[in-house]
Structure 1
Amino acid sequence: MGQTVIKADQQTLDKMDKHYENTKVKKQPPHTVFVAKQTNVTITAYQSGKVLFQGGHHAEEASKWDTNPQTQKKQHNVESHSKAILNQDHIGSDEAGTGDYFGPITVAAVYADERQQALLKELGVKDSKSMNDSTISSIVKNILETDIIYSTVTLNNEKYNQLKKQNWSQTRMKAWMHHNAIEHVMNKLDQITPSGIVIDQFCEPGIYYNKIKASDATPHSNITFLTKAESQSTCVAAASMLARYRFVQEMDRLSKKAGFTLQKGASQKVDQQIKRLMDSKGEAFLSQIGKVHFGNTQKAKKL
């Protein structure tokens, strides 16, 4: 059984004591503040400030509370890799669909050298937030005709909902998907060793590494985490467009399954569509096409 140990100050211990109130066990070993048992993890907090996390999700749970200065320093160092990598050959990865009720999460990773990056720019690859889906689709079709190396990973809604029931956070899912998309690209590179990896940052670097380790995998090295990375890295921009392209493809497929065009995002229009589906196909159908833990599900039930 895996385990993680952290050192917590009194303020953090007090917060943990309150947070785990509903999962505490009555029988406690000597010199402990509390013992709490959750699905796949047991937390034992000692009066000394040491907190022991044991079980399948030990690293992920510990990462929520680890305020050790050395850990923070390590995270800062990871985050502040030289941006010189942006002008060299590298792998970039990004995701789509995380804030949409309907449709899956999709992640794409792209490797391109300096020549290929110049070509991608000529094709119109840039920050995709200012583009509509039709423009992205047109550019992606041209990207797919180039010699870049890429991979896309899709987490379908049924699997997504199953992982949520197993207490996987969306952050852990995204980390795992980025890791696998990058791994697939690395495997395709054969004798090429990329100068580095750039990930559009969605969590602190240390948390990312902990979530990969929590799934018993070895994180890749030489990763640079950048906010708004798709506006800085051509590889990330291309990955962002590929991820969006795959997401839209899946939305089209799921719309046919639903019998009408599903709304992107998580607006009131989505609530109305959820209600329509529950009335026509039953609530169980939602797990096949949506992220049912979103608040939209409960809002729809009240309509």
Structure 2
Amino acid sequence: MTPSSFTFTLSDKQIEKLKAFLDQKGFEFSTIDHGLFRAKSKGVVVQAYKTGKVLVQGKEALEFSRNVIEPEILQQATIGYEFLIHPEYFKAHVGIDECGKGDLFGPLVIAAVFVDPQTAKDFIEMGIKDSKRISSTRRLNQFALEIKKKTKYALLSLPPLRYNELYEKKFKNLNLLLAWAHAWVYKKLSLELNDSPRVLCDRFAQPWVLQQSFKRIGADQLLEQKTKAESDPAVAAASILARLTFVEELAKLSQVIGLPLPKGASSKAAQLAKDILLRCGKDTLRKVAKIHFKTIQQNFADRAL
């Protein structure tokens, strides 16, 4: 049976281009709740939403999607090929991702998300993708709400004070800390699922680093590591939960210290860390920043001179 409904996620510019095309082709426009527009023609209805989601329905939906959306708007073929190209997406598994490891300020957050075949399909249709490709916090929130409604997940957020303690007293290496945190959040989710499914993680270090952490919890044989794992719907969903939690926690830290703490590790962030150190002292800086970063260690060395 030919599908009569297709969902795409478009950028604002792509939606504008689509709207102009529909207008030129004589589609009849109307408004929709919580949406941008509804456009109707013989055999096809197009609905565009503020989240970037575009729904194409009707007897001619497949033809319209293949002849208009893919070549004219997306400029790539996407319909119906995920299951053929990536059947592993649709097998029950857990995806894990992190946020904050490269940010001087704020926590380190690791998220794990479980998907079964239906959830994976839902996430792909919703346009769930790597959080680095989502610039809007509002959209992150919308996606996160849907993820939490549809499946089970686990989160670990290490505020700077706890992060610094673990780094200095236990691991003394970021990749070892990350591997421990990945295994911890997987175990937490497995206990909630009452099962130990396959788990997919981004390869951020030599394979043995993650393997030894998962071996300690008896899950090394379930572990798969690959580069750019965020293309997987479970990992993409985990990246959204991790990033949103990071953004929220960074905002809370900014309120506590009374200064807007930036993301990343730019020269601006390094200068702010130096200012906090000089004005408030090392103990205050430890509460908001990752102390092992080279820029901060250099500030400590300069102050000691």
Same fold (TM over 0.5): yes
Following the alignment from structure 1 to structure 2, what is the Cα–Cα distance between the partners of residues 243 and 159?
A: 17
Q: How does 1:127-138 map to 2 (within 5 A)?
A: 127-134=130-137, 135-138=139-142
Following the alignment from structure 1 to structure 2, what is the Cα–Cα distance between the partners of residues 188 and 147?
A: 15
Offset of 1:277 from its aligned partner? 1.2
- What is the root-mean-square deviation in Å for CA atoms of aligned residues? 2.2
Matched, 1:115 2:118: yes
What secondary structure sits across from 2:95 in the alignment?
Answer: strand
Q: How does 1:151-300 map to 2 (within 5 A)?
A: 151-166=154-169, 168=171, 169-190=173-194, 194=197, 196-212=198-214, 217-231=217-231, 233-300=232-299
Whose Rg is larger? 2
Cα shift readout 1:149-185 (whole Å, capped 9, x = no counterpart): 1000112211221222225111111111111111111
Distance 1:299 1:198, change over 3 A: same
2:203 partner amino acid = Q
Matched, 1:126 2:129: yes
What secondary structure sits across from 1:166 in the alignment?
Answer: helix
Cα shift readout 1:195-224 (whole Å, capped 9, x = no counterpart): x211111122222223455xx543443211
Corresponding residue number in structure 2 for 1:103: 106
1:117 partner amino acid = A
What secondary structure sits across from 1:116 in the alignment?
Answer: helix
Following the alignment from structure 1 to structure 2, what is the Cα–Cα distance between the partners of residues 106 and 158?
A: 13
Superposition TM-score, scaled by structure 2 size: 0.65
| Greater Cα shift, 274-283 or 293-302 | 293-302
Asked which structure has the greater RCO (Cα within 8 Å, sep 6+), the reply is 1
Following the alignment from structure 2 to structure 1, what is the Cα–Cα distance between the partners of residues 261 and 209?
A: 33
Superposition TM-score, scaled by structure 1 size: 0.66
Following the alignment from structure 2 to structure 1, what is the Cα–Cα distance between the partners of residues 187 and 136?
A: 27
1:158–1:287 Cα contact (<8 Å) kept: yes
Cα shift readout 1:241-291 (whole Å, capped 9, x = no counterpart): 111111111101111111011011111101221122123321221111111
Offset of 1:143 from its aligned partner? 2.0
User: How many pairs were matched up?
Assistant: 216
Following the alignment from structure 1 to structure 2, what is the Cα–Cα distance between the partners of residues 117 and 218?
A: 26
1:107–1:181 Cα contact (<8 Å) kept: yes
What secondary structure sits across from 1:254 in the alignment?
Answer: helix
Distance 1:212 1:148, change over 3 A: closer
1:221 partner amino acid = Q
1:140 partner amino acid = A
1:133–1:245 Cα contact (<8 Å) kept: no
2:218 partner amino acid = T
- Which structure has greater helix proportion? 2
Offset of 1:123 from its aligned partner? 2.6
Corresponding residue number in structure 1 for 2:152: 149
Q: Structure 2 regions of 5+ residues with no counterpart? A: 1-85
1:255 partner amino acid = S
What secondary structure sits across from 1:253 in the alignment?
Answer: helix
1:92–1:239 Cα contact (<8 Å) kept: yes
2:227 partner amino acid = T
Offset of 1:128 from its aligned partner? 2.2
Q: How does 1:74-85 map to 2 (within 5 A)?
A: 84-85=87-88
Q: Structure 1 regions of 5+ residues with no counterpart? A: 1-82
Following the alignment from structure 1 to structure 2, what is the Cα–Cα distance between the partners of residues 211 and 152?
A: 17
Following the alignment from structure 1 to structure 2, what is the Cα–Cα distance between the partners of residues 193 and 182?
A: 9
Identity between Structure 1 and Structure 2 (%): 32
Following the alignment from structure 2 to structure 1, what is the Cα–Cα distance between the partners of residues 102 and 266?
A: 10
1:123–1:142 Cα contact (<8 Å) kept: no
Corresponding residue number in structure 2 for 1:139: 143
